[in-house]
Amino acid sequence: MKNIRVLDTIRSVTGRRRFDRFPAIQPPVMVFRRDGDGPSAFVVVDAGQAKAVMQSPRYRQFDFLGQILTIAKPDRTRWIRRFCDIGLMMVDGPQHERRRLSMQRALDRCAAGVRAISADDMTAVVEEGLAAEPCTAAMVAARLVTLLFSRAITAMTGKPVELPVRDMLAIDFFNPFPTLSSLAGCDESIDRCCRSLDFESLDEGDQAAVLSLLVMGVSPMHALLTTLVNVYATARREGLTADEAAKRTVGFDAYAIVPVNLTMRACVGADTLGGEAVEPGDVVYLFLGSASGCPFSRLTSLPFGAGSHYCSGAALTQLMLKTVRSVLGRMRADCSRISPTPEVEGKASAFLVFATES
């Protein structure tokens, strides 16, 4: 019963969010006390309090997959288990720092690959999207995501990579209570992506970077770029030039959009949230923006988290956004025909999601 109430509360935020804000929710901290021997749950919808938790030594990363993986078939979740085993997300302390340094070297090579993408290649991808029927912002963004991540991973591995776009966008198991079927489906998509490159030949740091980009990078970047294309195409329909329309997108960065809705922590040292006692073992669901009903800003959003688990891909994200804006500002094709894409409603997901089917 407690889990259902937690899920409904999270859905009340994620299922009604707009691309630049969460709905107004009160109070800023909600408590769901334990059923029997289970832990209590806290839902925090205030960015300031969420940041304090993420920076506090009283909390560690919550392994939200641990329980379900004990009953999932290993052969149907092998890539997700690999992600947990070698990635940054489920570890803390010295091990986390060692993996972070190794991954950063891989992400630096990814950034070099993004910088090497020519304006002609980026423009061609947008024009291919314009030639498609229907032509939507989400579909144009999907083509851009494919180019950006394929070239980034190509630069990291040293071998040409062409990632399958449908599988990339299908990888999304970050919700409070993932199901066996959703994990299996995501695992199959990760498998097809990894088979598009010589994954096993990579060292562990590069493997961790590839899996992290697929699992935690693609969906947020698709949301960011869909927003940019929505804003840009609307401006073109209003009669603005390509350069003027691209300038309108400048204010829509990760801090104004917050493509990752929430993260989770487990209490390891007694604390207080919203005047309520938090005990070791309790789980805290932290929204990365304040649910005030107002547009996000740098004062009310934490798109890359905070503390030791601050997103390693933050700089790469900003580079990708800058690269796309630069190309949009030089577009000569008629981008006013791009149809806007709405947010998907009603989902309790960790990511902002836009419809990809017409």
Contact indicator for 255, 220 with CB cutoff of 8 Å:
no
Contact indicator for 28, 11 with CB cutoff of 8 Å:
no
* Mean pLDDT to the nearest integer, 316-334: 94
Separation of alpha carbons 305 and 295, rounded Å: 18
| Geometric angle at alpha carbon 27, from 62 and 41, rounded to 5° | 25
Residue 88 confidence (pLDDT): 84
Structure tokens at 166: 């449908």
pLDDT digit string, tens, across residues 5-35: 999 999 999 999 999 999 999 999 999 987 7
User: Is the predicted pLDDT of residue 357 greater than 70, yes or no?
Assistant: no
* Mean pLDDT to the nearest integer, 235-260: 95
Structure tokens at 2: 């407690």
CB-CB neighbours of 268 under 10 Å: 15
Separation of alpha carbons 5 and 138, rounded Å: 32
CB-CB neighbours of 70 under 10 Å: 7
- Exposed (0-12), middle (13-18) or buried (19+): which is 264, by Cβ within 10 Å? middle
- Is the preceding peptide bond at 220 cis, omega within 30 degrees of 0? no
CA 251 to chain centre: 19
